[in-house]
Every structure is written in C-alpha cells, then in structure tokens.
Amino acid sequence: MDHLEENGETNKDNYEADDETASGCGSRKCRGSVHWRRFRSNLFLVLLLIGIAAGIGMGMGIRQNHPEFKANKRYVAYLEFPGRLLLRMLKMCIIPLVFFSLVSGMASLPSTTAGKLGGYAILYYMITTFMAVLLGITLVATIKPGLKAKQQYEGETGTIVQPVDALLDLIRNLLPDNIIGACLFQTKTVYDKENRMMTVNMTNDTTGDLYLANNEAESQLLLLTVNSECTENHSLTEVNAPELRVTHVEIVNFRTSSVRGTNILGIVLFSILLGVIIGRMNDATGDLLFRVFDGLQVCIIKIIKIFIWYTPVGVMFLVAGKLVKMKDVGDEWTTLGWYIMTVLVGLAIHGFVVLPIIYALFTRKNPFMLIIHMGKALFTALGTASSSATMPLTLNCLEENAKVDRRVTRFMIPVGATINMDGTALYEAVASIYLAQRLGHHLNAGQYVTVSLTATAAAIGAAGVPEAGLVTMLIVLTAIGLPATDETLGLILAVDWFLDRCRTMINVLGDSLGTGIVEKLATKELDQMDKAQTSRRGNARAEYTNKAFSYSGYDEESDKTRL
C-alpha cells in the first residue's frame, strides 16, 4: 500500500548524519554546540530528579515544621493540586494517544506481520509476568516478612470478590457494548450487602458446604450469621444440626454495573481491529484513513511534548503531598520494613537482572544501554505512579533515544501499558502471602499455585493508573481465603504509595525491554516491508518517468529505428 511509505523508517540516518557533521567540525563553536545539544537532551532528566528531591525535602520539612498540616485535608489537597494537574494533563491525552497510535501502527503493518508481532508480544507478556510472580512467591516464602512484623493481626471476614466474576469482567471489558461509553465507564461486578432478619433451613453436605434451603435465597450468597440458636462458639460449617434457625443473616447480592473509569482494554481491542481493517484496504480510501490517523497521532505527540515539561513541577508536589499524608513515617517503615525490603528486592532482581538477561539473550545487545536511554520515562513513572501517564515519554525515549522502530513501539507500548504489569504481579504475590503470614494463615501448595495464577490474571486486568494493583489484589486475597477488608489492606496501605511508584517503574521497564526483543524477533518481517516499500517507490518513479516521456512525444521504438 502507498500509505506504508516511510512509516517504518526511523530518523536514525538523520541523527547519525548530524553527529558526524558535528564531530567533523573542529571549531570551538561547533564543539560548544555539540555539548549544548547533549546537555539539552538530558535537561529534562536533571529537572525531574531535582523535582523528586525537592518534593521529598518539601514533604519532610512540612511534617517537621507544621505538624498540624497533615491533619487538615484541605491543606493537603492544596499542596497536591499542582501534581493533580499533571496527572489530568497526561490522562487527557491517553485515550487519543492509544487510539491513534494503535490504529496507525496496525494499519502500517501487513496482516501477517501484525499477527506475528501480536503473538510475540503476548508470549513475552505472559512469560515475564508469570516469572515475576514466581520470583515474588519464592522471596516471600523464603524471607517470611509477615512473621517478622512487630504485631500480628487478626482480621475479619469481609466482602468476597469472586475470581470468576473478575474474569468475566475482563472479558466484558474487552467487548464493550458502547465504544464511546468505554472512554468513560468500565464494567464491573458490584456486590451489595443486605442484612435480613429471617428464618431459613440449612443443610450441611459431606463436603462441608452450606446451602440455603429456601427458594428465596437460592441465588444469593450467605456470608455471615450474627445471632443463631447455637449457644456454642461454632462456625457454620462445624454445625452438624440438620436444621438451623438463623435470626440475623448477611446476604450479598451481585450485579453487573458500569463504574467510572476508562475501559482501556475495550479501546485497545477496537483500535487493533480498526487498524487491521484499514491496513487491508488497498485503495485510496485506506490510504486516506491511514494518513488521517497518522497525522492525528503526530498532533497528539506534539501536545504531549509540551505538557511533559511540567512534569518536574507536578512530581515535586505529588511526592510532597504523599509524604505529608503519612501518619508516622518512622513507625510505619519500621513495622513494614521486611515487607518493603522483600518487594524492593524482588522488583530489583526482576527489573535489573531477569529482564536484562532475557533481552541480552534474544537481541545480543547491552540491555543497560537501553535502560539508560529510558531514564526520563523511568523517573517519570517513579513520580506519577502511572504507566499510562508515562506512555508518551516511553514512546519518545524508545524512538528518539534508543532508535527502536516506530512500527513496533506504536503497537507494543499502548498494549503493554494496558496488560503487561510485571511489577504489579510480583507485588500482588508478595503482598497476599505477607498478609497470610501476618494473619497467621498457613498456605498449602495448592494455595501457592492459586496465588501464582490469580496474581498473573489480576495483573493483566489492572489498569495503568495509581494504586490499581491494590484494588486487583482483592481477587488474590479472596482466592486463597483471606479477608478482603479495609482493616486487612490497611496493614500495607501506609507504604503502598511508595511501592506503587517502584512497581510502575518496573512495569515501564518491562514494556521497553519487551519492545526491543520483539523488534529483534520481527527483523525479517520488517526488512521485507522495507524492501517492498523501496520497490514500490522505484516503480512509482519509473511510472512517473514513462508518463513524462509519453507527454513529451518521446517514442522509444522510433528512436531505436533512427539509430
């Protein structure tokens, strides 16, 4: 197709030519220009690091000099306001960036190449996510941070989040009934608690499961009985009486509802399908549609580049606000010290040992050079705690710094920011087992397998927004029979804001290294596309030349006869 022209070409030659020209110039002015360009290319990273350091200093200073500040939610909201503006600016561009990038990226690829890229991407995402979960389980089972905590805790049974419902929600969100509504809402199973004063007949079968005998409650889930005619302290599953009169029951009804939040999974699937269809339209209409989407994508990137320069300021106030809101930094970090260390060690091993080894094995390149090129994106992820908000910078670093083929980045990064959550998967595995240890629950081998599977699935369903992993962790807790209550999550909530930033950085790093791996695996297909584009351009030039000669009255046969 004509619209494939130059889409897969990077600006690598231009950058190399500029560097050669600059290095070949021996004048002091030229050398100064080279140094200025290098400083300018790293200026954003320097400002971002200064912003993070200033945020830490500001937050700790306010805690020391104005202790009453943290008790006033209005003051804290004022402090975080500049940072919230940064998140709003970046989130404003997420939907158009994902949509236009995926459509133009998929339209630029032949269907066979797109299929191979998708296969490589999904395989990489699933393998690395599962490896992260296994690493987390190994570390938490070895270190046992929950047994080293100062205080043990006994939680209460809370609302059960059924893993099956979470899986069905994931499928529903992949196929939204309204693509416009997917920009505003996502589908989620909602549980409604209801306390009733009623009398029911209950039977206990040989498996120990309780069933409601009355027809009224057949479709409802019985969670808790408060007052019964049993005088002894037995759980319901231990009561062997054929009939039990219950005066106060708590019943949970479930329903499918639309909740606020972008359904990014549905938008991604729709964008991929639309891009593939446009790529198969070998006519002027397909060419026009591609150029429209590609042009809109360029416009969004330019808007984001303007917003990005506000990032150091926004990150400074976000970090300061989080520090001010903490109740007691010393006590919380001391109590959760082993837990924090376990998560950080796991993230460091996975992000800077496991993933680089995989990258080096497939690409035969130095992975740490790519990590250095990704510095701006990684520190932005550390500051914003959102892989989706970091996506514009991730694309910029990969294409302009690492010189990764834009045909690969425009497909991998939007998809990866949605479903590739290595850091989140590791965190959920460590956190759930830590809570089990803290609550005194002994997990068997089957429950460890359950943690590995549900943590992998929950990480895929986690949105790329701050503290999304804390929400999806409810699925893992419920799957292994732990209470999913506010009191239980409160044990780790105090430091989640910090760990959230660390795991987001690993999520972005995993996306970036995966993009380099997929580019290497798809080298043959990309080279074939480049050759096809060169051939088409040559044929177009030959056709143009022949038309020019025909318009001028030139006749090749008559010219040969005259000779």
Q: Which of 266, 263, 267 is nearest to 100 (CA)?
A: 267
pLDDT band at 158 (very low <50, low <70, confident <90, very high): very low
Has residue 253 got a pLDDT over 80? Answer: no
pLDDT higher at 254 or 451 = 451
Helices 387-396 and 284-308, axial angle in degrees (round to 10): 100
pLDDT band at 16 (very low <50, low <70, confident <90, very high): very low
**What is the predicted pLDDT for the residue at 209?**
40
Tell me the residue length of the chain.
Answer: 563
pLDDT band at 5 (very low <50, low <70, confident <90, very high): very low
Residue 255, beta-bridge partner list: 190
Buried b (16+ CB within 10 A) or exposed e, 135-159: bbbebbeebebbeebeeeeebeebb
Helices 163-174 and 468-479, axial angle in degrees (round to 10): 140
Tokens of 191: 């549980």
pLDDT band at 487 (very low <50, low <70, confident <90, very high): low
Segment 199-247, tens digit of pLDDT: 555 554 444 344 444 434 433 444 443 333 333 333 444 444 445 455 5
Segment 312-332, tens digit of pLDDT: 898 889 888 888 877 666 666
Torsions phi, psi of 379, nearest 5? -75, -30
**What is the predicted pLDDT for the residue at 384?**
79
What's the whole-number average pLDDT of the chain?
75
CA distance 538 to 14: 22
**What is the predicted pLDDT for the residue at 365?**
93
Amino acid, res. 1: M
| Class of residue 354 by CB neighbours under 10 A (exposed 0-12, middle 13-18, buried 19+) | middle
CA distance 367 to 398: 13
- Highest mean pLDDT (candidates 186-200, 512-526, 534-548): 512-526
CA distance 123 to 131: 12
**What is the predicted pLDDT for the residue at 563?**
43
Kindly report the pTM of this predicted structure: 0.66
CA distance 250 to 225: 6
Has residue 417 got a pLDDT over 70? Answer: yes
CA distance 370 to 516: 9
Strands 210-212 and 246-260: unpaired
Segment among 12-21, 189-198, 432-441 with least mean pLDDT: 12-21
**What is the predicted pLDDT for the residue at 122?**
86
**C-alpha torsion sign, points 388, 390, 396, 402:** negative
User: Are 69 and 62 spatial neighbours (Cβ–Cβ below 8 Å)?
Assistant: yes
DSSP H or E stretch at residue 516: helix 486-521
Segment 25-84, tens digit of pLDDT: 555 555 666 666 666 667 877 888 898 889 889 988 888 888 777 767 888 888 889 988
pLDDT band at 471 (very low <50, low <70, confident <90, very high): low
Q: Measured at the alpha carbon of residue 422, what is the angle toward residues 51 and 177, in degrees to the nearest 5? A: 100
Mean pLDDT of 541-550: 50
CB atoms within 10 A of CB 342: 25
95 CB-near residues (< 8 Å, 6+ apart): 183, 262, 267
**What is the predicted pLDDT for the residue at 509?**
95
User: Are 342 and 75 spatial neighbours (Cβ–Cβ below 8 Å)?
Assistant: no
What domains appear along the chain, each with residue ranges and CATH number? Answer: 2-182+261-525 (1.10.3860.10), 185-260 (no CATH)
CA distance 399 to 318: 28
